[in-house]
Structure 1
C-alpha cells in the first residue's frame, strides 16, 4: 500500500474519531496537541488504526507516534511486504 492510500485511511479514522474536517488533516497534525487527545482517545485511535490495517503497534512504539505523518510512516514501514 502506498503512503497516499495509508494517509487517506488514517485521515478518515481521525476525521471520524475526533470529529474534524478531513480537509484540516495534514502530515503535521499532532494528535495530542492539535486534537487535544487524552490518553484514552489516543489508545482508541491506535486500536482503530490497528484494525483498519490489520497491524499491531507495540505500546512503546505507539507512545512515539505524535503526528499523522509519523503514523503513516509507521504503517508504511511495518506493512507486510
Structure 2
C-alpha cells in the first residue's frame, strides 16, 4: 500500500468513525487539539488501525506522535 492510499484510508475513517470535519484534516493538525481526540478516542483509533491495516499499535508508539503527519508516518513504517 502506498503512502497516498494510507493517508486516504486514515482520513476516511477519521471522518466516518470519529466525525472529524474534512477541512480539519491537515498534515500539521494536532491529534489531540485540532482533531479533539481524547484518550478513549485513541483506544478506538488503535482498534481502527488494526482493523483497517492489520497493524498492532501500543502506547509507546504514540510517544512522539503529535501531528497527523506523524501518525501517517507511523502507520506507513508499521506496514513496511
Task: Classify the secondary structure of the residue corresponding to 2:42.
Answer: helix
User: Which ranges in structure 1 are unaligned for 5 or more consecutive residues?
Assistant: none
**Over 4 Å off, 4+ runs:** none
Partner deviation per Cα, 1:23-47 (whole Å, 9 max, x = no partner): 4311112110112221011111121
User: Which ranges in structure 2 are unaligned for 5 or more consecutive residues?
Assistant: none
Q: In 2, distance between residues paired with 1:15 and 1:72?
A: 15
1:78 equivalenced with 2:75 (yes/no) = no
How much has 1:77 moved relative to structure 2? 1.2
Q: CA RMSD in A?
A: 1.6
Q: In 1, distance between residues paired with 2:27 and 2:47?
A: 20
Using CA pairs under 8 Å that are at least 6 residues apart, name the structure with larger relative contact order, 1 or 2. Answer: 1
Q: In 1, distance between residues paired with 2:68 and 2:32?
A: 11
